[in-house]
Structure formats: structure tokens, C-alpha cells
Structure 1
Amino acid sequence: MLNNIMIGQYFPGDSFLHRMDARVKILLLLILLMEVFVFTSAPVYSALIVLTLALILFSGVPLRMVLRSLKPLWWIILFTFVLHLFSHPGKELCRVWQFAITQEGVAQGTLISVRLMLLIVLSTLLTFTTSPLKLTDALESLLSPFKKVGLPAHELAMMMTIALRFIPTLISETDKIMKAQQSRGADFVTGSVLSRLKNMVPILVPLFLSAFRRADDLAMAMEARCYRGGAGRTRMKEMKLARLDYISLVVFAVLSLGLGVGFYR
């Protein structure tokens, strides 16, 4: 279960997605997610699914690795589908006990489930193809216009990136602690809910201690390198839009226009 959590992991590669400017990728992701929630027609969603599969193919990231990001959240997707399946009014298809399954419920449940899957896959694809350092610089660059109203863009970008980067580290640490406790006879599967919650204490205590220790080590390392926030800091490699980024923006604009025309027809 823990090994299936893919958030924050980076998959090195040389695809056009890896070479794109991180700022462009974040902006395109936000627009794609807006389109996922705005559009509702089946042809448009079919096009979005094909586009997502094409991005996965061209990114060089194994499809199995991307699909693993859905595994920890499959029960949420299933619960959402079942909830809409029985609660949406419409033409009744069949009845299970006192609950009716409607044609509109099937359609709405499928729509919401596909939305969630696209949201997870597209967001995971961003972290797969963007290194944490580039993601930090991109977030800071995108948030920099808000510095005029007092928003600490650099600090926010740094905190988000550190949190994102620490997710796989803490997952790996949790897995090691669970295996160590299981080798000592701990049982996290059988028994009542209360007993299983009690058995989680030997995991949470060393996990919190490890997290605080890693945070302290990181703070000392940043202080040893004279880190004082974003004021006056420069980058070894300045972020610049290349030809690939402009082409990607144009292609994406054409595709979005096509989806919009297909939706309003």
C-alpha cells in the first residue's frame, strides 16, 4: 500500500515533458484541471483521456507506474461512484433493496470518477517529469507578482516543495518502521478497529521522531549554507522559455479551443 503512493516522486528522463519549462507545465496543468471540471460531454472527456494517455506515452514514464498513483485512492473513487449511482434521480434501471440505480446516476458517477482519476494522474505526471528544484523555482516565479501585496513567494514555494519532497521519504520511513515492528510481532491487519489503532502507536512515535530529526538536519544544513530566504538570491541557471515551450503553448491553445468548440456544439 505504502509503495503505491507516488506523490512527490521524480522519474528522470529526456522527453519533451521533462525539457519543458516548469512554469509552462504548471500553467498548462491548471488549465487542464479547469477543463476537466468545466466540460461534461462524453466526446470531450474521451479526448481528454486520449490526451492524458498520449502525454504519459511521450513522457517515457511507465504506464504501470502512473496507474500505481491511483491505487491508494481507488476506494475514494469507488465510493464516489456508488454514492452517485444510488443518489441521483432519473430513469430507473434496477433496484437494490430500497435503493434505485438510475441511468443518470450511472452517467454522473462515471463522470465524477473519471474527473478524479484525471486529476490524480495529471498532477502525478507533473511531479514525475519535474525535479523538485525546478518545481521550486517555477512556483516562486509564478508567485513573484504577488510580492507587491506582501506575499512571501519564495518561502511559500520552498515550503510546498519541501513538503512534496518529504512525502516519499516519510513513506519509505513508515514502511521500514512497520516491517521492523512486524518482525517483533506487531499485528496491523487482524483484530478490532480499536486494537489496530493501538498498534499504530509504535509506528507513529518513531515516525514523528524521525520527521523532527530530519527537519532539524535540514534546518542546520540550510543555516550552514547561509540560507536567508529569497531576498538577493540568484540562480545558477535562469529560467527562460525555449522554442519547445512556445510550441507547446500554441498546440495546447489549439487543443483547448477544439475541446471548447466540441463542448458547445
Structure 2
Amino acid sequence: MNDIMIGRFVPGDSWIHRLDPRTKMIGTFIFIFVMLWSTSWATYAWSAAFVVLAIRLTKQPFRLYWDGLKPIFWLILFTVVLQLFFTPGTPVLLHAGPLKVTIPGIINAIYVMIRFVLIILMSTILTLTTPPTSIANALESLLKPLKKIHVPVAELSLMLSIALRFVPLLMDETQKIMNAQKSRGMSFSTGGPIKRAKAIVPLLIPLFVGALQRALDLANAMEVRGFQDATQRTKYRVLSYGSNDRSAFIGLIGFTIIFIGIKFFIK
């Protein structure tokens, strides 16, 4: 559970850490959109090189990102298997009832796996180098035009900030409960799938009670501090673009232009 990186911030002084959170958020959204447009080995290779460069700029070990991938390995594997056995095409390499393994299916499964991994890695870069409160402030700033149509942008950003902060806390709480259960003789890694699923049930009740208690404590803390309306909040850290952000946008534009050139001119 401790390997889940969503919502976790690792302090640092890298070039990526010093970027404005809005720059990192816009870059992540653009990268995800570009990846959904990728349809060739060359574009995936270029995107992978871009992600590797971004990871190097964070000055954090690759093992940290690999540990973040392991908890969702089964989700990636499940998606890859669906693509492998249910993608039509020819030639057919294996045929067993409704299941077919084709050359297009193998290629599509590999594409999907690479796409998942790269998108998750880029999203992990955002969360590991940006505090949850900065992500919420960046989202509020980017969505500010929606205030004109009465969208509660401040409340949405506050909820996002709280949610991001609660994810690692809940994961840590789950790990503590699992350790307590193991010390009492409970096993979560033996037996068949049904037995393992039943072993998870004793985790749910204390985790649910703990989450409710944390939410109640947070609500009381906000109330005693006079919190009334998220739109009236002031910011201790004011977001501002700098020279590093301009360089990042130039690099992002260059990546996108080269990606488009590869997609249309390299087959």
C-alpha cells in the first residue's frame, strides 16, 4: 500500500519542482491528449524519451516511479489481455472459441500497455513534484473563467485538495490495519481468490470508521477556524510564471511539433 504514489509529494529542488504547478498541470494534460493520438512505434518511442527526460529532471530515482506502477500492474494487465484476445484482424495466430490472438491484437496490446505506463509515469511526475495544495490552487486558477457561468471553482479545488491529501493517509491507515491483522494471525497472501477476498473484509470496517472520523475531525477543525466560503480564502503562496515556465512551454511545444511530424511523416 505504501507504494501507491497518488497524492504523495516528495520534496526536492529540481528544475521540475520549481515549475509553476499550472505549467506542470497543462503539460500533463497535453501529454495525455498527445498519447491518446499516438498510433505508431516512432511516436511511442519519442513520447517515452520525453518522459524519461522529465523523470531525469526531477532528480528522483527511477525505482520510485517503478514502485508507483506496481500497485496498478493488474489493471494494466487486464486491459492488455482484453486488447490481445478481442481485437479483430488477420492473420490469426491462435483461435480458441470466441478468443482470437491476431497480429493486430498483439500490436494493439503492446500499444495500450505503453500508453498506460507513459500516462501514469507523467501523472506521477506531477504528483511527486507538486504539493496537493499547489495542485488545487493551480486547478482553481485554470478554471477561473468558469466562474462567469457560476461554476463553484473554489469549492471544487478545495475538494480536490482534501481528496489528494486523504489518499496517502488512507493508504497508510490500510497498511497499519493490515499489519495489526497479520500480527493476530490473519493472512492476506495465501489461499485462493475467494479466500483472499474474504480476508479483505475485516479491513473495510475499521478503514471506513477511521475515514469518517478523519472527515469529522477535519470538518470540526475548519468550523472552529471560521471557514465559511472557499471563495473568500486568501492564498499564502501566489502563483506566478517565471523563466523556467517559459522554457518548459517552449520544450512542450517542441515535443508536440516533433510528435506531429513523426506521426504524419514517419510510417
- Structure-2-length-normalised TM-score: 0.92
In structure 2, the residue corresponding to 1:101 is in which secondary structure?
A: strand
Could you tell me whether the CA contact under 8 Å between 1:177 and 1:203 is conserved in 2?
A: yes
5+ unaligned residues in a row in structure 2: which ranges? none
User: In the alignment, what sits opposite 1:202?
Assistant: 202
Change (3 A) 1:102 1:197: closer
**Residues 40-71 of structure 1: CA deviation (Å, up to 9, x unaligned):** 12111100001001100110121101111111
Could you tell me whether the CA contact under 8 Å between 2:93 and 2:103 is conserved in 1?
A: no
In structure 2, the residue corresponding to 1:187 is in which secondary structure?
A: coil
Distance 2:84 2:230 in 1: 50
User: In the alignment, what sits opposite 1:248?
Assistant: 248
User: In the alignment, what sits opposite 1:260?
Assistant: 260
Distance 1:198 1:244 in 2: 51
Shift of 1:93: 6.1
Distance 1:102 1:78 in 2: 18
**Residues 80-110 of structure 1: CA deviation (Å, up to 9, x unaligned):** 2222222223333632655543221111111
5+ unaligned residues in a row in structure 1: which ranges? none
User: In the alignment, what sits opposite 2:161?
Assistant: 161
Change (3 A) 1:210 1:257: same
Residue 28 of structure 1 pairs with residue 65 of structure 2: no
In structure 1, the residue corresponding to 2:101 is in which secondary structure?
A: strand
Change (3 A) 1:77 1:201: closer
Q: 1:72-221 to 2 correspondence within 5 Å?
A: 72-92=71-91, 94-95=93-94, 97-98=96-97, 99-191=99-191, 193-221=193-221
Bigger shift: residues 189-198 or 74-83: 189-198
In structure 2, the residue corresponding to 1:68 is in which secondary structure?
A: helix
Distance 2:194 2:75 in 1: 22
- Whichever residue aligns with residue 41 of structure 1, its letter is S
Shift of 1:195: 4.5
Distance 1:183 1:254 in 2: 54
Could you tell me whether the CA contact under 8 Å between 2:135 and 2:161 is conserved in 1?
A: yes
- Whichever residue aligns with residue 91 of structure 2, its letter is E
Distance 2:55 2:250 in 1: 20
- Whichever residue aligns with residue 217 of structure 1, its letter is D
Could you tell me whether the CA contact under 8 Å between 2:20 and 2:245 is conserved in 1?
A: yes
- Whichever residue aligns with residue 158 of structure 2, its letter is M
- Whichever residue aligns with residue 116 of structure 2, its letter is L
Bigger shift: residues 106-115 or 224-233: 224-233
- Whichever residue aligns with residue 60 of structure 2, its letter is V
Shift of 1:219: 1.4
User: In the alignment, what sits opposite 2:51?
Assistant: 52
Distance 2:92 2:196 in 1: 40
In structure 2, the residue corresponding to 1:3 is in which secondary structure?
A: coil
Change (3 A) 1:111 1:196: closer
**Residues 219-248 of structure 1: CA deviation (Å, up to 9, x unaligned):** 122222222222332222311111111121
Distance 2:148 2:68 in 1: 37
In structure 2, the residue corresponding to 1:29 is in which secondary structure?
A: helix
- Structure-1-length-normalised TM-score: 0.93
In structure 2, the residue corresponding to 1:172 is in which secondary structure?
A: helix
Could you tell me whether the CA contact under 8 Å between 1:92 and 1:100 is conserved in 2?
A: no
CA RMSD after TM alignment: 1.8
Change (3 A) 1:86 1:231: closer
- Whichever residue aligns with residue 261 of structure 2, its letter is V
- Whichever residue aligns with residue 252 of structure 1, its letter is L
Distance 1:123 1:4 in 2: 15
**Residues 127-176 of structure 1: CA deviation (Å, up to 9, x unaligned):** 00101121121111111111111111111111112111111111111111
Shift of 1:118: 1.2
Change (3 A) 1:82 1:236: closer
Change (3 A) 1:196 1:261: closer
Distance 2:164 2:3 in 1: 16
